[in-house]
Structure 1
Amino acid sequence: MKLSFSSWRSSVAASILLITIIFCQCSQKAEPGSEAHIRNVTSAIDDKYLTKADASPGNWVTYGKNYAEDRFSPLNQINKENVERLGLAWSLNLGTTRGIEATPLVVDGVMFLTGPWSAVYAVDVRTGKKIWTYDPEVPRSTGEKGCCDVVNRGLAMYKGSLFVGTFDGRLISLDAATGKPLWEKLTVDTTKYYTITGAPRVVKGKVIIGNGGAEYGVRGYITAYDALTGEQAWRFYTVPGDPSKPFESKAMEMAAKTWSGEWWKYGGGGTAWEAMAFDPELNLFYLGTGNGSPWDWFHRSNGEGDNLFLSSIVAINPDNGEYVWHYQTTPGDTWDYTATQQLILADLEIEGQNRKVVMQAPKNGFFYVLDRITGELLSAEPYTYMNWATHVDKTTGRPVETDFSRYKEKNTVISPGPNGGHNWHPMAYNATTGLVYIPAHINNHFYGHDSNGATGTKLISTFVDGLDIRFDPSSPENMHTGHLLAWNPSTQKAAWVVKYEGTNPFQGPVNGGVVTTGGGLVFQGTGDGRLFAYDAADGTQLWEHELGGGAVAPPITYLVDGVQYVSIAVGWGGGPPALWNRFTDDIYPGTIFSFALDSIQSFQAKGVGRRTELIDLEVTATADQIKRGQQIYGANCLGCHGPMGTKGGSIPSLVYSAEGTFGIIEDIVLKGIFLPKGMPDFSGRLSAEDVSDIKNYLLSSAKVMKEQGN
């Protein structure tokens, strides 16, 4: 068929018009916060972008700000000279009272963060409004599988997708523009007590995720999945399995020589639930590993061997997951001294030489500086009070332990305790000041051996209900306090410290992570509900703002439309004592706060009050029944509800329950009517008699506390 010239011209004109329309539509800037806008800006986050994340200082696109995980932002619009003008720009109620530990991600004014039960939120920073919410529908029955609340610390972002690890052990890829799932992988054996609370990392097109559960008898590992398809690329185990079976790698064959007994029957532990970093130039991926399962070295490994790779910093090849080197911070760990605390990569001048280093302040109380090429120990010095070791031998790289540290002959008070000199709360490194800023602790713990020799699936060593330990503020060994510590990693000396002290023996040790900036500032939220800005050089307090609720998550800072913001997600929770105690009058709903210069928004939120009156009901039980109730409570309830004397944190203290609660206590414990709230169903594990004895123990304790004036 032939076309006339006029028909051909009309056809060409129509085609040009169509192309013009398409071009105009594509060239128009998408509305900020729209689906098209989010897809455009998140799709740009690829391997090159992540490798050079510091080249885009206005965004915060990976958990630790960059692959070095230094949490340093060069932004300086907010600085030491004007920080007192910082005011609230907006706040957003997330509608939850469980713990929030997330580091938000921000790209071009769109924020992504996680909350309790692994929920994911997208927020428009320009308006402070939610764009979408994704609920992975984690079964509430899994809540008891975790030691430290149903928290989640964050997301990874790559080529238009978000990645979240869920509390019940799944890794899910979401469309960042819509929040809709793209793929999902189960990463754990759900018959065991595995959980995921940490943030994934994306390295060279792979999503890397670890897990938790070393307290409950699992074997640690991390796994890499193809970011686009979800197919497993490799898995690196952190402790060896059954030696009668083939080892997964030469690394596991080597590690097995450092174990004794039948450790594999108890899991072994070593879960990699938090610390990760990546050096693109060296092509090395670094991870920190956790404590043994069970805690007690004598039960776990017959008191023999270093038990690799527990409590270690391990370097692996991210292409195939193969072992490169390791350094063990706590050989034969028997105190829950994890090395899962944040790893920071930096270049330091040490003894006149420029060294590529990896730094860590793990639980055991020593600050480590290692050569990140070889794993060589460069230095290790105490950054907090300790009595379990005197120093680290520079020749062997091993801590020199005190003669009582392993509590072999008798139960002993050891410092630090399982909360560590520093826990998961992120520290930050500022190359300008040359200082690392650490949310540090001074604490102790009463360690002892299980008289029954049990190795089971629960903690061997835990807080002992009713144990009379006096907290003498004049004695560091008997203090439970927290502080912000500025530490010079080159000289291994403290530069300055800000102390957080309280009259409550558990008040002060738990505070939020930090961020440091090019404006010469350090920001930190605290457990008593405040956000502070300090001079990064000398620790002078320059600004503070009330948050209403306790903060454990770290703040971040970013730039939107030329305006620098500081944001923090606030929600009290996490491990003991956050589960048991609070340092504000009420528990406030989880809230995102965002601050900018000269902003003047007000914040008003109604707290969820906790009862302050002790329950007062008749006790109808013998002394033996009450004692039995105490034992059952300690084995089944104490981990979440806490010892007697605490006021209740993100989970209430049962001695402050209403009368009606005790009227339905069997329905709660044995019928699971509070399962939607995360309260386990103990039917099949406890009897009506057990529940009655627990009830009378609680009522009896309330009477004693009332007589003592509590």
Structure 2
Amino acid sequence: MRKIALFCLIAVLLVPQLCRAASCSDTIDVNAAVLADGFAADLGNSRHYSSQITAANVAMLQAAWADVADGVTERRGAAAVTQQAVFFSAGRQIIAANRRSGCRYWSYSIPAKTTPLVGSNAVRLSAIYFLPPQGSHPALVYAGDFYGNFYALDAASGTLRWSRFIGSEAEHHMITGAPQVYDGKLIVPVSSKEVLSTLFETRPCCSSHGLLQVLDPYSGATLWTYDTTAAARLQLRTGKQAPNGATLWGTPAIDPQRRRIYIGTGQNLTPPTTDNSDAIQALDLDSGAVLWTFQATAGDAYNVSCGVALLATLDCVRPAGPDADFGAPPMLVHLAGGGDAVIAGAKNGVVYSLNPDSGALNWSRRLGQGGSLGGIHWGMANDGTRIYAAVSDVTVNKVSGLTAGKLLGSNEIATVDGAQPGIYALDAASGALQWAIHPTHVYDGVATPSIYSAALTVSNDLLFAGALDGELKAFRTSDGAERWSYDSKVAITGVDGTAGHGGTIDSVGAITAGDTLLLNSGYDSFGDSNRYQAGPGNVLMVWRLPSP
């Protein structure tokens, strides 16, 4: 397989001016065609991105440019891409750059904030969202942060149009799932870091729960809110607060025909549990009314309080639930043979197909054993004919997701008993297994299972999958045959001359946009470098097909 050479290092030697810090000489054309947007490509969350990249030409990809975020240890969030520009995040920055050269149009920094032992502010959203101009309304770029704040920037200039806190608990709520925009509604899922931060709090866990906020895209005003649980209150039997949790990590799917929103919820944090945790729910697009609920795992209560024995508090749930939430976005799949299905994969390792009208189960298929980081973790993809799922089957002490986790020496990622990590292709209509592959990599001279936690991307006849060990691969969708690979855990110089390094591939994975392939490399939320993970990194890598 062709290995792409170091990005800007070669450019420094051949064309030095390409790697000097540079502002773009042109201005942003907000009317340029949109090539990729949001976390999951479309309203149905297909992760099926249009591009010119195919199995026949993927080996011709050439390094175009790279962005290095100095001082950052992980790269989050899919970029929004137009024919001219790339809008992406890096630490506390939201950046607009030229798609061809990487020169910068503008950057905007969100406020700095740090909670001791918990973490510092960053653009945490799983994708930057670009909204083209509509009538008298300007083009906007949206992002959300670690403290539940949401930002709307003018896409042409990077100036702030509006920002607001969209949670209900400033110390707990955060935004991970990316928004959708449809019919004058900005639809934003809200999650909570209380699953982690309760470890260092002095009052009984847990008070926060998931929210779906539906806002006016141009003012940020709330149109309606869906609360996944009622307000928490102290439970005398347990000494804990409840109900809680059922947080929203993934991007909602929108069903224009039925005027519905499909969401996936997380586990409860303490008992008593609710009937809509670890569930897929259909909401009315105009009111937020719950139309149906499919609960995959009942009785799941989990938080990290048992993770450090010396600091374990009364918040520790014994026995702890399996932590089997839906973190991957549900997909509204338009089946190649006709009809629709809502298809979702959970951290328990199971894929479910549901009737979009009633929520009734069409079929389910277990692919993995599940674990605290999946099972199916960040996202599946589909092309209407096949469902593509990455199974990680790993677990970790989630205290490592806190700043204090490194100080406390929390455990690193490990595979679960009977793990079956790999990539699976299912028939979308029936759930029948069409193919499965179990790639490996070499660590200390030993063939080691590669762990696929990041979301998958399908484009034409290719499936792109990034592994925790830092390697990005492209597989043929018909049979899983490998067509291209690149090991991203390498030293790289950015377009401005900043030295950086790739690392773990997680979260959004790679996306395609026209003749371009983009990859975030570097992720250390749950552990450092080990046999499964490449560790921290700070690079956005961009490849491009050669010009005809």
TM-score for both structures, normalised by structure 1? 0.59
Relative to structure 1, the CA distance from residue 234 to residue 138 in structure 2 (aligned partners, 3 Å threshold; closer, same or farther) is farther
1:423 to 372, 377, 396: 377
Q: CA deviation at 1:529?
A: 2.2
Describe the superposition over 1:359-397 as per-residue Cα deviations: whole angstroms up to 9, x where unpaired.
Answer: 01111222100011221111112111x3xxxxxxxxxxx
Structure 1, gaps ≥5 residues long: 1-31, 42-55, 245-258, 295-299, 387-415, 448-457, 459-463, 600-710
Aligned equivalents of 1:532, 1:288: Cα separation in 2? 28
Offset, 1:156:
2.3
RMSD of aligned alpha carbons = 3.4
Matches within 5 A, 1:380-399: 380-384=364-368, 386=369
Q: From the two aligned structures, give the one with the greater strand fraction.
A: 2
Q: 1:230 aligns with which of 195, 220, 223?
A: 220
Q: Write the mapping of 1:576-587 to structure 2, written as runs, cut at 5 A.
A: 576-577=526-527, 579=528, 581=530, 587=536
Aligned AA for 1:292?
N
- Match of residue 539 from structure 1: 480
Query: Which residues in structure 2 correspond to 1:618-629 (within 5 Å)?
Result: none
Correspondence for 1:133 among 107, 117, 125: 107
Identity over aligned residues, as a percent?
21
User: What is the CA–CA distance in structure 1 between the aligned matches of 2:217 and 2:113, rounded to whole Å?
Assistant: 25
Unmatched segments (≥5 aa) in structure 2: 1-22, 134-138, 199-205, 301-320, 403-407, 491-501
Match of 1:90? Answer: 65
- Counterpart position of 1:499: 438
Q: Does 1:371 align with 2:355?
A: yes
| CA deviation after TM superposition for structure 1 residue 342, in Å | 1.8
Residue identity in the other structure for 2:276 = F
The aligned length equals: 463
Q: 1:357 to 1:35 in 2, by over 3 A?
A: farther
Q: Give the drift of 1:190.
A: 4.4
Residue 178 of structure 1 corresponds to 157
Contact 2:75-2:523 at 8 Å conserved across structures: yes
Distance 2:219 2:62 in 1: 43
Q: Aligned letter for 1:156?
A: Y
Structure that is richer in helix per residue:
1
Residue 348 (structure 1) shift = 2.8
SS at match of 1:331: coil
The question of whether the paired residues in 2 share the 8 Å contact of 1:100 and 1:573 is answered with: no
Q: How many Å apart are 1:555 and its aligned residue?
A: 1.5
CA distance in 2, matches of 1:209, 1:135: 21
- Rounded to whole Å, the distance in 2 between the matches of 1:210 and 1:142 is 25
Report the AA paired with residue 238 of structure 1: T
Corresponding position: 1:157 with 2:147? no
Cα offsets for 1:427-478 (capped at 9, x unmatched) = 21123xx22222212246799xxxxxxxxxx9xxxxx98999997xxxx725
> Deviations 1:378-431 (Å, cap 9, x if unpaired)?
1112111x3xxxxxxxxxxxxxxxxxxxxxxxxxxxxx221121112x221123
Q: How does 1:246-265 map to 2 (within 5 A)?
A: 265=241
Bigger Cα displacement from structure 2, 503-512 vs 189-198: 503-512
Question: Closer, same or farther in 2 for the Cα pair 1:138/1:437, shift >3 Å?
Answer: farther
Indicate how the Cα distance of structure 1 residues 224 and 143 shifts in structure 2: closer, same or farther if over 3 A, else same: farther
Contact 2:266 2:279 in 1 (8 A): yes
Aligned equivalents of 1:208, 1:262: Cα separation in 2:
35
Does the CA-based 8 Å contact 1:277-1:286 persist in structure 2? yes
Offset, 1:326: 1.3
User: What do the CA deviations read for 1:649-687 (whole angstroms, capped 9, x no partner)?
Assistant: xxxxxxxxxxxxxxxxxxxxxxxxxxxxxxxxxxxxxxx
Change (3 A) 1:95 1:130: farther
Query: Structure 1 residues 175, 596: closer, same or farther in 2, change over 3 A?
Result: same
Greater relative contact order: 1 or 2 (C-alpha under 8 angstroms, separation 6 or more)? 2
Paired residue type of 1:153: S
SS at match of 2:190: coil
Q: Which among 427, 452, 462 is matched to residue 521 of structure 1? A: 462
Change (3 A) 1:284 1:142: farther
Which amino acid in the other structure matches residue 56 of structure 2? E
Aligned equivalents of 1:369 and 1:96: distance in 2? 42
C-alpha deviation, 1:82, in angstroms: 2.3
Flag the 1:33–1:219 CA change in 2: closer, same or farther, 3 A.
same
In structure 2, the partner of 1:408 is: none
**Paired position in structure 2 for 1:558:** 513
Q: Any conservation in 1 of the 2:38–2:80 contact (CA below 8 Å)?
A: yes
* Change over 3 Å in CA distance of 1:501–1:84 after alignment to 2: closer
Going from structure 1 to structure 2, the CA distance change for 1:228 and 1:142 (only over 3 Å counts) comes to farther
Tell me the secondary structure at the aligned position of residue 45 of structure 2.
coil
Q: Deviations over 1:290-335 (max 9, x none)?
A: 11113xxxxx11xxxx612211111112222222111111122221
Map 1:685-704 → 2, pairs under 5 A: none
Partner in structure 1 of residue 292 of structure 2: 325
Which structure 2 residues correspond to residues 255-294 of structure 1 after superposition, within 5 A? 265-266=241-242, 268-294=244-270
What is the distance in 1 between the residues matched to 2:533 and 2:325?
29
Is 1:207 the counterpart of 2:186? The answer is yes
Distance 1:483 1:556 in 2: 19
The question of whether the paired residues in 1 share the 8 Å contact of 2:451 and 2:532 is answered with: no
Per the TM alignment, residue 266 of structure 1 is displaced from its structure 2 partner at its CA by 4.1
TM-score (norm 2): 0.76
Alpha-carbon distance in structure 2 between the residues aligned to 1:467 and 1:175? 43
Letter in 2 for 1:78: I
Aligned partner of 2:365: which letter? E
Q: SS of the counterpart of 1:84?
A: helix
The offset of 1:542, in angstroms, is: 1.0
Tell me: CA distance 1:260–1:205, structure 2 relative to 1, closer, same or farther (3 Å).
farther
Give the Cα–Cα distance (whole angstroms) in 1 for the partners of residues 105 and 413 of structure 2: 49
Q: Are the equivalent residues in 1 in contact too, given 2:44–2:253 (CA < 8 A)?
A: yes
Counterpart CA distance in 1 for 2:63 and 2:470 is 15
> Highest CA radius of gyration, 1 or 2?
1
